[in-house]
Amino acid sequence: MVYMVRRLDALALLVLTAVLWGAFLIELYQHQLPCPLCLLQRVAFTMAGLGLLMNLRFGVRPAHYGVVILSSIAGLVAAGRQVLLHIVPGDPGFGEPFLGRHLYTWAALAFFGLLAYCGVALMLGFLRRNLSPRRFTFPEKFIAIAFLTIAMANLVSTLLECGLGPCVSGSFGYHWLWPIG
Amino acid sequence: MVLVLPFLTVLIAAWYIWKRRQRTATVWWLLTMVIYIIWFIYQSTNTLNLSF
């Protein structure tokens, strides 16, 4: 499975490299010079690429995915900020759209995709490791019980509020306890 | 502010990966991240003289 993830990492790095080359060629051929926020997004893509490159060079490790995840979050923050800067209706946005979206919007989607990819790769790459269950320590047990309790409480309160329906009654309350009159 | 700085540090990190020096590469990646965060805060909190 690790071997397959390694191949996927190579593919992800290829896509990421194509994204960077695409932006660079648009800069050269369409004379669409990048703004400071766009440049930061290019740095973030390159930082994320480092994590994938580490996987190819040193072997698949969670720490390398950590590099990709943190870099993608940094890039998503910059791209998301740029999307929000141009979100007002009537704002033409920065630069020419590409396939119907501006480059920073594509960048935000790409960073989101990288984060999703890391989740999948971590699940696939480390499926067979640390499988043996262990006992909770006392503080861990307390935290786990608090967690399970709030999960159950949310289940019960949602059941009481929404019943088994889609929760579209329009008036919010514990209708199973006190039905609407 | 030298915006080209993170481009330099990230390239150095990539170079160290190429040279199989993982720890050094990670340190350079970390440095790039720190510069990135500083640059982003600068971009977000200062009035920039931009001409679109």
* ipTM at complex level: 0.87
Rounded Cα distance, A2 and A79, in Å: 31
Kindly determine whether residue B43 and residue A40, on different chains, have CB atoms separated by under 8 Å: yes
Chain A partners within 8 Å of B43 (Cβ): 36-37, 40
Q: How confident is the model at residue A8 (pLDDT cuts 50, 70, 90)?
A: very high
* Closest-CA residue of chain A to B8: A43
Minimum-distance CB partner of B36 among A35, A49, A74: A74
Q: How confident is the model at residue A142 (pLDDT cuts 50, 70, 90)?
A: very high
Q: Which residues of chain B have pLDDT under 50?
A: 52
Number of C-alpha atoms within 13 angstroms, CB side, residue A15?
Answer: 15
Q: How far is A54 from chain B (nearest CA, A)?
A: 6
Q: How far is CA A175 from CA A163, A170, A181, in A?
A: 8, 11, 10
pLDDT, one tens digit per residue, over A57-113 is 999 999 999 999 999 999 999 999 999 988 888 888 787 778 888 889 999 999 999
Chain A partners within 8 Å of B40 (Cβ): 40, 74, 77-78
Supply the pTM of this predicted model: 0.84
Task: Specify the long-range contacts of residues A117-120, CB closer than 8 Å, at least 24 apart.
Answer: A117/A8, A117/A12, A118/A65, A118/A68, A118/A69, A118/A72
Rg (chain B; Cα; Å): 14
Fold of A2-125: Bromodomain-like (1.20.1550)
Kindly determine whether residue B20 and residue A58, on different chains, have CB atoms separated by under 8 Å: yes
Domain limits of chain A? Answer: 2-125, 137-181
Mutate to test the interface with A, among B26, B31, B35 (most CBs of A within 10 A): B26
